[in-house]
Amino acid sequence: MGLIDFDPGQLSARLALERPVAAPDGQGGAAVTFEFVAHAWARIEPVTVVTEEQAGAETVRLTHRIWLRPREGLASGWRLAKGIRHFRVKTLHDPDETGRWLVCGCEEEGR
């Protein structure tokens, strides 16, 4: 695989990195909230739009590929936020194995 090279100026979206925090819900389970960790500049690429019908209602699932510089601790289950938009991190990988980029496969929530 060749070296991935693009203009760092394409990292034009400022995202908030948020990690999940479980808090007891008083009934033996846990409620998950998200805690701000840091800001990062990123490149957001839309990948797919899937429209489905569930229980008689139409739902839309949007996926994105989000590029950013590697971050210590970032893992599946974290969330990236841009204003009111939230992207749940599903997968992470280094596209050219050089440690320069981290690509997150994300699903947009609430759309």
pLDDT score for 2? 66
Domain limits for position 44:
11-109
Q: pTM for the whole thing? A: 0.86
SS3 27: coil
pLDDT score for 110? 76
pLDDT score for 65? 96
SS3 103: strand
Please give the single-letter amino acid code of residue 43: R
pLDDT score for 58? 85
How far is 35 from 52, CA to CA, in rounded Å? 31
How far is 99 from 89, CA to CA, in rounded Å? 19
Q: Is residue 4 part of a domain?
A: no
Q: Is residue 2 part of a domain?
A: no
Q: What are the CA-CA distances from residue 84 to residues 49, 81, 108 (Å)? A: 19, 7, 11
Q: Is residue 77 part of a domain?
A: yes
Q: Is residue 6 part of a domain?
A: no
Number of domains comprising the chain: 1
Q: pLDDT in tens for each of the 111 residues of the chain?
A: 567 777 777 889 999 999 999 988 888 888 899 999 999 999 999 999 988 888 888 888 899 999 999 998 999 999 999 999 999 999 999 988 888 899 999 999 876
SS3 77: coil
Q: Is residue 22 part of a domain?
A: yes
